[in-house]
A and B are shown apart, each in its own frame.
Chain A
Amino acid sequence: QVQVVESGGGVVQPGRSLRLSCAASGFSFNNFDMNWVRQAPGKGLEWVAIIWYDGSNKYYADSVRGRFTISRDNSKNTLYLQINSLRDEDTAVYYCARRRHRSTWDIDYWGQGVLVTVSS
């Protein structure tokens, strides 16, 4: 069955960096575009970034462009999110999420999420 499992979260000081990982299994990872979506505590969902199935293109929300970098290693079936210069407002659960099909814009599988807490 399709599974995506995030890791790498924790408590980080403001200004520091963090890299999140997402291990995928149960599907042909290299055939699917992948997203990161975050959710601040008690708040709504916020789309963060998407990367094409082959890593050739990456797109970001305005709120994170320049500080976040999405990447993937198809040989390891793993998606990454590098977060630099962490801010208080980056505190959130970060979800790894699969784009259902390249002809549409929706998400059919989500991980359980990983919590990032920015605090001094």
Chain B
Amino acid sequence: QSALTQPRSLSGSPGQSVTISCTGTSSDVGGYNFVSWYQQHPDKAPKLMIYDANKRPSGVPDRFSGSKSGNTASLTISGLQAEDEADYYCCSYAGIHTLLFGGGTKLTVL
């Protein structure tokens, strides 16, 4: 299985909104609503930001939102803040009890 496709990098200024896309196939993203997003700061463990495509765990700011349409899922960060600068990974259930991650997106806050 090939990794889900994400843009390698994105940037935005404080206060702006950015959207990170995650494209898969009908066998993963398009076939299930089990898409999750993770934030990873350098040399830190990943942190769950979105699950089930559009649900936020408690403690995650409502500036983070998720959506899905067809084979593409998206993570939108509104009101960008300096601490949002990190790597972001999408992940999808890929059938037969397996998971598939995206290649990751490096978000830079200008």
Contact = CB atoms under 8 A, between A and B. Distances in A.
Interface of A: 35, 37, 44-47, 50, 57, 59-62, 95, 100, 104-108, 110-113
Interface in B65-110: 89, 91-93, 96-104
Contacts, number: 65
B51 A47 contact: no
A108 B55 CA distance: 13
A50 B91 CA distance: 15
30 contacts: A37-B101, A44-B101, A44-B102, A44-B104, A45-B38, A45-B40, A45-B46, A45-B91, A45-B101, A47-B91, A47-B100, A50-B97, A50-B98, A50-B99, A59-B97, A61-B1, A62-B1, A95-B45, A100-B51, A104-B51, A105-B32, A105-B36, A105-B92, A105-B93, A106-B36, A106-B48, A106-B52, A107-B36, A107-B46, A108-B57
